[in-house]
């Protein structure tokens, strides 16, 4: 390129910089206008309490809040985390450990009843998935694709999803054995008749796997722990408890590659195809039950770091309460409980969250009255 000495480079640079600034302002204005237009298309609702979730914790919170005349709005989600409204109980069959049902009840039916009770006492329910929240200002904002709720308080009860392994036969389709021999909760399902006095298997190597295997020895004839490594990551005491149990056997360095049906009834689990990861040799293991014990994933991504989470992604609550790191935001159920993960404990924490929210709203109401 030839240098031109008579060209006023300073003026050219100034004009170029001014053009860039104008372009940036125009882009920012355009972006803001697009965002504002998108916001203007959302239906705006206002409430004292917004509940996010659809399981026992969410609906218990809704019942208590509605009876306290907080007029709660509840977003139950639509296939949020690939689970239907109602949470993990909708993926189970018989629930035999929820009080009040001596003959047991189907998980889906239990959640249908919870939903009807929430509606009967006055909860406003929307089958929409919450995509994001804004807890930086008050009132808090809860967004779906169609609505934005301005809420004085929020209960997060989005639960946690059990991690599964994707091998042949592990799903819930016509060729899968999910809920027909495969489960992710020994405490929930282990006492079912199809598992009693039958050989069972657990996949995992942590404390949960040791605990579930030990629990299953109460019902199964024997329990196999299948682990892909040659050592467990579980605590020493939990390892010792499992390894000292004569009904527990360990299959080291192995993974499940296929689940198949029973010879006499192809609709229920009959066995597993196991592969040794070191030798590549495959073998059959006849079992009537398989339990995943490889952890859970709490549904907290939509929070976008606005609440304090622990190292595993669970919402941190103040001991003895459902209070989170932000005043006015509460968490209940499995989204903040990595230990118990039961329907009844979730329901109990949902009650706590509603009461905590009611007390919070009374406090801020009293402060506003004083300022007025």
Q: How much is the CA Rg of the chain, to the nearest whole Å?
A: 27
Sole residue written with tokens 């993926």: 91
Cite the beta strand spans of the chain per DSSP E.
Answer: 43-52, 73-75, 94-95, 105-106, 124-126, 132-134, 140-143, 147-156, 160-162, 182-183, 199-203, 222-226, 248-251, 254-261, 269-276, 282-285, 289-292, 296-298, 329-331
Backbone phi, psi, residue 88, to 5°: -65, -25
Burial of 252 (C-beta count, 10 Å sphere; 0-12/13-18/19+): middle
Rounded (10°) CA dihedral 202, 208, 210, 214? -80
8 A C-beta contact, residue 113 and residue 57: no
- In this structure, the number of other CB atoms found within 10 A of the CB of residue 264 comes to 7
Which residues are known to be catalytic? Answer: 185, 188-189
């Amino acid at each position: 390129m030839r240098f031109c000495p008579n060209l006023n480079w300073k003026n050219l640079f100034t004009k170029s910089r001014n053009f860039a600034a104008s372009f940036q302002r125009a882009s920012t204005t355009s972006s803001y206008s697009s965002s504002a237009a998108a916001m203007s298309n959302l239906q705006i609702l206002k409430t004292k309490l917004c509940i996010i979730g659809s399981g026992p914790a969410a609906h218990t919170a809704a019942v208590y809040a509605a009876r306290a005349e907080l007029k709660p709005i509840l977003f139950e989600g639509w296939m949020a985390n690939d689970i239907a409204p109602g949470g993990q109980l909708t993926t189970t069959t018989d629930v035999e450990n929820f009080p009040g049902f001596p003959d047991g009840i189907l998980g889906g039916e239990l959640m249908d009843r919870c939903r009807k009770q929430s509606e009967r006492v006055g909860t406003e329910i929307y089958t929409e998935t919450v995509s994001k929240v804004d807890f930086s200002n008050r009132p808090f904002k809860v967004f779906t694709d169609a609505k934005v709720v301005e809420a004085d308080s929020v209960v997060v009860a989005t639960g946690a999803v059990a991690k599964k392994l994707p091998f042949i036969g592990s799903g819930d389709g016509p060729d899968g054995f999910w809920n027909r021999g495969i489960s992710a909760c020994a405490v929930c399902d282990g006492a079912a008749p199809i598992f009693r006095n039958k050989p069972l298997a657990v996949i995992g190597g942590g404390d949960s796997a040791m605990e579930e295997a030990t629990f299953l020895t109460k019902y199964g004839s024997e329990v196999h722990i299948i682990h892909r490594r040659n050592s467990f990551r579980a605590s020493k005491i939990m390892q010792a408890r499992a390894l000292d149990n004569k009904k527990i056997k360990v299959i080291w360095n192995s993974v499940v590659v296929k689940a198949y049906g029973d010879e006499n009834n192809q609709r229920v689990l009959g066995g597993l195809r196991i592969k040794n990861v070191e030798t590549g040799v495959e073998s059959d293991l006849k079992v009537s039950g398989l339990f995943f014990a490889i952890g859970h994933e709490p549904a907290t991504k939509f929070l976008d770091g606005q609440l304090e989470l622990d190292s595993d992604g669970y919402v941190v609550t103040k001991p003895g309460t459902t209070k989170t790191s932000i005043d006015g935001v509460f968490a209940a159920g499995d989204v903040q409980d990595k230990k118990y993960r039961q329907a009844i404990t979730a329901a109990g924490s949902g009650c706590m969250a509603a009461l905590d929210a009611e007390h919070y709203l009374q406090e801020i109401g009293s402060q506003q009255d004083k300022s007025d």
